[in-house]
Amino acid sequence: MEPCYLKYITLCLNLALSISAVTSLPNSPKTKTPLKTCNFPAIFNFGDSNSDTGGLSAAFGQAPYPNGETFFHSPAGRFSDGRLIIDFIAQGLGLPYLSPYLDSVGSNFSHGANFATAGSTVRPQNTTMSQSGYSPISLDVQFVQYSDFCRRSSVFRKRGGVSEKLLPMDYYFSKALYTFDIGQNDLSSGFKQNMTFDQVKAYIPDVLRQFSNVIKGGRSFWVHNTGPLGCLPYTLDRFPIMAAQIDNHGCATPFNDVARFFNRRLKEAVVQLRKDLPMAAMTYVDIFSVKHSLITQAKKLGFENPLLACCGHGGKYNYDKNRKCGSKVTVNGKEIMVAKSCKVPSVRINWDGVHYTEAANKWVYDQIINGSYSDPPIPMKMACRVMDH
C-alpha cells in the first residue's frame, strides 16, 4: 500500500495504471456492452455543515434537539431534522451512514469516514470559533486527519481484533468515492467582516487555489458547488439588503451572484485538476441549480414557505441569530424551548435558517444521482469513469 504522506496527500492511490486504463475505457461501439457500476467500497467526505454527520458535535457539543427529530428521533450530530445529502449518497451506494472521524463513541469506519465539520472553510480563518462561529477544522486540517487515518488504519488492521472490523481495508482507499461540499462559509465569512461583494469575489481565487492544493492524487472525486446563499433566511435576516436587491422569489440577488461567481471558478479549478490528474475521475455537481429550482418552484414541488426556517424563533424568516434552533430560556427556574420545530418539516425546505430539511435533502439527492446536474453527465455510480472532455 502506498504510504499516506502528511505533506503531500495522495489519497492512498495504489491502482495499477493498467487497471485504471481498462476501467476508464468507453464502451466499444461494436460490443455495446453497458458500463458496469463502480461498486465503491467506501466514502471519504470533506466539507462543512452541509455534510457534517457529527464532527462538530463530537468536538464542541451535540447539536441540540429538535435536530434529528424526523429520522433519528434524537440529536445525531446533523444540523437538520434528519438525513443529509451525504447520508442519501451512502445509502444509494449500499454503504452505511458515515461516522464522523472525530467521534470516538460508537463509530464504525469500515466503509469510510467523514472529516467534515460544521463551520469549516477551505481557507483557515484568523479567528477563534467563539469569535466567528467558524470551525478551526478547515479543509487542510481535514486532509491532515485523513492522511493520519489512512496510515494508521493499515497499521491497526494488521494487529487484528476489533480494529480489523472497524477500519477500512487497505485497497478501499484507492477504490473509494471522495466527496466534497465546502466553500459556503468562505463566502459568508467575508460578508460577516463587512466586506463588499467585490472584495469577497477578489479572494475567491485564493480559496480555490487552496482547495486544489490539497488534492494531490486519488481516483474518484465528487465535488459539489455551493448553494444559493441569497435564498437562506440567515442571509436575508442578518445582512443589510435593499428592496431593489430582492428578486421575484424573495432571494437576495447580490449574494446569489457571488455564489455563482464562486461556482464558475470552482468548475474551472476542477477542469484544471482533470488536466493535472489525468488518471482521476473528477465530477463537478451543480448543487446551486438544484437548490435554486427547489426554492423557486417550491409550491409546484409540494413544499411550503421556502424562505421560512422550520426551526427557529421570530422575525420575518423565523430566524434569530441569538436564538437558533433548539435554543432555550429559563423562566422561573424552568427551561423552556423557544426555537422549536415547525409541525410538518416534510413540507418545508429550510430547517434552521442555514441548513435544509431531510425532505429537501432527499429531493436534491434524487435530482443529482443520475448525472443530470453533473459534469461530466454521468450517474454517481459511474463516477469512477475517466471521461473524455
- Do the beta carbons of residue 65 and residue 311 sit within 8 Å? no
Q: What DSSP state is assigned to residue 229?
A: G
Nine-digit cell at 182?
A: 465546502
Query: In what side-by-side order are the strands of the sheet with 220-224?
Result: 112-114, 43-47, 177-181, 220-224, 281-285, 374-375
Q: How far apart are CA 211 and CA 64, in angstroms?
A: 31
Of 81, 186, 286, 352, catalytic: 352
Closest by Cα among 47, 61, 170, 179 to 115 = 47
Of 49, 57, 154, 341, catalytic: 49
Residue 352 annotated in active site: yes
Rounded to whole angstroms, what are the CA distances from 324 to 162, 348, 354, 378? 40, 17, 10, 39
Give a three-class secondary structure readout of 230-278.
HHCHHHHHHCCCCHHHECCCCCEHHHHHHHHHHHHHHHHHHHHHHHHCC
Rounded to whole angstroms, what are the CA distances from 33 to 28, 232, 308? 7, 45, 48
Closest by Cα among 147, 219, 114, 215 to 176 = 219
Q: How far apart are CA 216 and CA 238, in angstroms?
A: 38
Closest by Cα among 44, 24, 362, 96 to 222 = 44
Of 111, 292, 313, 355, catalytic: 355
Amino acid at the residue 134: Y
Q: How far apart are CA 375 and CA 378, in angstroms?
A: 7
Which residues, other chains included, contact 243 with Cβ-Cβ below 8 Å and sequence gap of 6+? Answer: none
> Which residues are marked as active site?
49, 352, 355
